[in-house]
Amino acid sequence: MQRSTFRIVVAAGAAIGLAALAGCGGSSTPAESDSGTVVFWDTSGPDETPVFSRIAQDCAQKGGYKVQVEQVPFAQAKNNFKTAAQGGQGPDVLRTDVGWVAELAKLGLLADLSDTDAAKDTGDYNSLAVASTKYDGKTYGVPQVIDTMGLYYNKKLLNAAGVAPPKTYDEIKAASAKLGGDKTIFINPGSYYALPFIYSAGADLVDPATKKITVSSPKAVEGLQAAKGLLDAKAARTSLDSANAYNNIEAAFKAGEVAMIVNGPWAYSGYLKAPSFSDKASLGVTAVPGPTGPGKAPQGGHDYTIRQGTKAKPSSLKFIQCMSSTESQVEVSKSLGLIPTRKTALDNADAKASGGVAAFGPLLDSNTQARPSVPEYSALIDGGGPLAPSYLALLGGTKDAKAAADEAAQAFGPLLPGYTSG
Amino acid sequence: MVTSTAEGTSQGRGATAPRLWGGLGAFLHRHWYAYAMVIPVVVVVGVIVLIPLLQNIYFSFTNINDSTIANPVLDRPARYEVVGLDNYGNVLSGDPSYGDFYDILVRTLLWTFGSVVFHYLFGLVLAVMLNRTLKGRGLYRVLLILPWAVPAFVSAFAWRYLFNADYGLFNAGLRGIGVADPPTWLGQSNLAMFAVIVVNIWLGVPFTMVALLGGLQSIPNELYEAAEIDGATPWQRFANVTLPGLRSVSATVILLGVIWTFNVFSVIFLITGTNNPNTRILITYAFERFFSGSTRDYAIAATYGVLTLSMLLVFTTIYLRVLRRQGEEAW
């Protein structure tokens, strides 16, 4: 009796399976039409998003289409977009981290904009920013903002201790005697924040030219060791509690519990809201420290991209061009201190006067390194990527720099087909 | 029709199949009503469980990922192919780039049995305490069921703040009593595993308690009275009346507890994220493989899924067999 029951279940299951498969077959591609409503996924932070929404609505009003702004947390946006876009769903326009463009384009999830006006009118843009919109010779986006990281410092605390903003790791160690030991600098344990240490040592995670994984090269290990060295010298603290780390670091810096942190312009407007920076002048920014002089931070930023399969491509195109117009960029810089990607916006007096642009603009020229154009690169340094646990193990002291770097190199392997360790 | 012809030729080679079909026909004839009633369930289970399950098993033998998957929206055909047992070989070799399988397995077992043992112990103690008449019993019951009524993600976030190394309540308390360097609970050490197990115990005790309380109330009072008349001590009454009376409820509670805990994803995901190797269990690692990486590795995630399912099947079979040998039916 049990056997025949089983047979019936299997037979029914198989029949349903066939029916479901048949149902999946016949989808057809719709002709290019325009629904007139642009769904925009804004991945900016809570301090930034009101400004972007306002500009988006202004653009919609002027352009004669509708915009629906949906705020998606940055950390989840890429995954959510991938899942949605694979199934033909999701936003029409995505604010895309520059590191994601190549990855999403490789998967065929972004619309190719090479033949549109968006790809032609690029003379006004910063060339690094334009490079970030391209993959395999095609254009997939329009630059929104460009960024780098710098050393934020609390001028009041530094002045009270009588120290100048440090340029090297040794200067941080020297300053820590006066700033109260580990109250000197808070090291973010996130893997993106490991990059300045590695870049400043003249190394990188991978070398696309020779197809080698270089995170365990002697220079990169030296860079990683520098971070651990600051902790060992009791000149820095960190938070190994990775789920709470970013918030704890922000809280500590805003409350004046630590004198310095490394972060990007996206955090600028948030810090100014904190009581200890009510006097704007007490928030200082300089280049990230390096081994022998000012170091280098990774170039970042965001692009506007359009999802492949959108039902509102013409409107979306109008929308992203409006969002990245000189006028919009000046507005963003004025309100949030983000660095514009258009030269005409950067030259605008209002934009220049903004604290964030004044602080980070100069760092873009001399203290910034572009990330290699490898589609898998952003996956290496994602929060869920393989560099994060190794870097945490190093900072926590469970592995030394070489062992942590070796572990990372090994974990990179499966993500980087065709690369060898070296 | 097939039935009548089959019945005549029941002897000789090749007759087994027609006979079975014949049996089935008669069977259906007798029970068609019951089966008609059951069909909607079979359909639903088939669509939401059986088909995805078969598909998952198939994917674990391929090299499917999000660059080889078919995409009707983008007019892209499937490009993945069958790779045989490669995925299983890679995973079971214990290679760290495929997740250090044996390390994760040990953590999963620790997580599962650590949680279930304490679910049961605390649940039993609380159920016994609540089973007697005492003042404000209703209030205690409500308070004890509360962790279960609060959505798991709310509890998880609350615990994450409690465990916060720099600003959390626990470490504030430890500093208050003079511990200079309180631990990083959710960091890169086995303390993180301990912390998530504590949270999971807290979340799971109410269910065990309620189930056992139900079991306790079904034990006839006469048994206790008889035991008392025979001069049994309270401990003897507990060991010889209460525990045997709870056996079938306990068996179910423990079986469900193991299966659920083995597959609990939300607690670890919400408290330590998916990228802390110290709190990796099989199911969170499958999620990591599915969702992170520039190409999402569906094949390895599916392999982990199949391995998890196989282990649970083996466990359930052995567990039920042992119970049956002891003369108990869990269900």
User: Chain-centre distance of CA B153, in angstroms?
Assistant: 18
Any CB–CB contact under 8 A between B43 and chain A? yes
Cα dist from A240 to A156, A220, A283, A392, B76, whole Å:
28, 21, 26, 6, 43
Give the whole-angstrom CA distance, residue B98 versus residue B101.
7
Residue B188 has a pLDDT of 81
Query: What number of helices (H) and strands (E) belong to chain A?
Result: 20, 18
For residue A50, count other CB atoms closer than 10 A to its CB. Answer: 15
Any CB–CB contact under 8 A between B181 and chain A? no
Pairing outcome for strands A150-154 and A93-97: unpaired
Pairing outcome for strands A37-42 and A66-71: parallel
Place of tokens 């790779």: B83
Query: Looking at the partner chain, which of A12, A309, A398 has a beta carbon nearest the beta carbon of B74?
Result: A309
Contact A13 B274 (CB under 8 A): no
Place of tokens 């995805």: B52
> Which residue, B305, B326, B324, is CA-closest to B56?
B305
Residue A21 has a pLDDT of 40
Is-above-0.95 flag for pTM? no
Contact A411 B97 (CB under 8 A): yes
The predicted-structure confidence for A249-288, as pLDDT tens digits, reads as follows 999 999 999 999 999 999 998 999 999 999 989 999 999 9
Query: For A108, which residue in chain B has the nearest alpha carbon?
Result: B74
Helix (H, G, I), strand (E, B) or coil at B117: helix
Q: What is the phi-psi region of residue A344: left when phi exceeds 0, alpha when psi lies from -120 to 50, beta otherwise?
A: alpha
Give the whole-angstrom CA distance, residue B302 versus residue B80.
14
Q: Which two tokens stand for residue A303?
A: 């692009």
Q: Which two tokens stand for residue A30?
A: 């719709």
> Which of 191-230 (B) contact A at CB < 8 A?
none
Which residues from chain A sit within 8 angstroms of residue B54, using beta carbons? 13, 17
Give the whole-angstrom CA distance, residue B24 versus residue A3.
10
Give the whole-angstrom CA distance, residue B194 versus residue B272.
12
Give the whole-angstrom CA distance, residue B124 versus residue A231.
47
> Which residue, A236, A240, A239, A248, is CA-closest to A184?
A236
Beta carbons of A287 and A165 less than 8 angstroms apart: no
Beta carbons of A10 and A62 less than 8 angstroms apart: no
Strand order in the sheet with A300-306: A66-71, A37-42, A93-97, A300-306, A141-147, A339-340
Contact A29 B54 (CB under 8 A): no
Which residues from chain B sit within 8 angstroms of residue A310, using beta carbons? none
Give pLDDT tens digits along chain A (422 positions).
Answer: 344 444 444 444 444 444 444 334 333 344 457 888 999 999 998 888 999 999 999 999 999 999 999 999 998 899 899 989 988 889 999 999 999 999 999 888 999 999 998 888 788 999 889 988 999 899 999 999 999 999 999 999 999 999 999 999 999 999 999 999 999 999 999 999 999 999 999 999 999 999 999 999 999 999 999 999 999 999 999 988 888 888 999 999 999 999 999 999 999 989 999 999 999 899 999 999 999 999 999 999 999 999 998 999 999 999 999 999 999 999 999 989 899 999 999 889 888 888 889 999 899 888 999 888 888 898 898 877 889 989 999 998 889 999 999 999 988 888 888 899 86
Query: For A249, which residue in chain B has the nearest alpha carbon?
Result: B166
Q: Which residues of B317-329 are buried (b: 16+ CB within 10 A; e: fewer)?
A: eebbeebeeeeee
Give pLDDT tens digits along chain B (331 positions).
Answer: 344 444 444 444 444 555 666 677 787 788 888 888 999 999 999 999 999 999 999 999 999 988 888 877 777 888 899 999 999 999 999 887 788 899 999 999 999 999 999 999 999 999 998 888 878 888 888 888 888 888 888 999 999 999 998 889 999 999 999 888 888 898 888 899 999 999 999 999 999 999 999 999 999 999 999 999 999 999 999 999 999 999 889 998 999 899 999 988 889 989 987 778 889 999 999 988 888 766 688 999 999 999 999 999 999 999 988 888 877 655 5
Q: Which two tokens stand for residue A13?
A: 């299951």
Contact A103 B294 (CB under 8 A): yes
Give the whole-angstrom CA distance, residue A402 versus residue A400.
6
Give the whole-angstrom CA distance, residue A29 versus residue A408.
42
Which residues from chain B sit within 8 angstroms of residue A29, using beta carbons? 75
Beta carbons of A131 and A250 less than 8 angstroms apart: no
Query: Looking at the partner chain, which of B27, B74, B277 has a beta carbon nearest the beta carbon of A389?
Result: B277
Beta carbons of B107 and B115 less than 8 angstroms apart: no
End-to-end CA distance of chain A: 63
> Which residue, B119, B115, B91, is CA-closest to B104?
B91
Query: Looking at the partner chain, which of A1, A241, A389 has a beta carbon nearest the beta carbon of B165?
Result: A241
Q: Where are the beta strands (DSSP E) in chain B?
A: none
Q: List helix spans (H) across B150-242.
A: 152-163, 169-176, 190-217, 221-229, 234-237
Which residues from chain A sit within 8 angstroms of residue B64, using beta carbons? none
Residue B189 has a pLDDT of 84
Give the whole-angstrom CA distance, residue A182 versus residue A30.
60
Residue A200 has a pLDDT of 96
Query: Looking at the partner chain, which of B42, B72, B73 has a beta carbon nearest the beta carbon of A12?
Result: B42
Long-range contacts of range B8-14, CB-CB < 8 Å, 24 or more positions apart?
none
Beta carbons of A56 and A323 less than 8 angstroms apart: yes
Helix or strand (DSSP H, E) at B314: helix B298-325
Rg of chain B (C-alpha set): 26
Give the whole-angstrom CA distance, residue A249 versus residue B164.
12
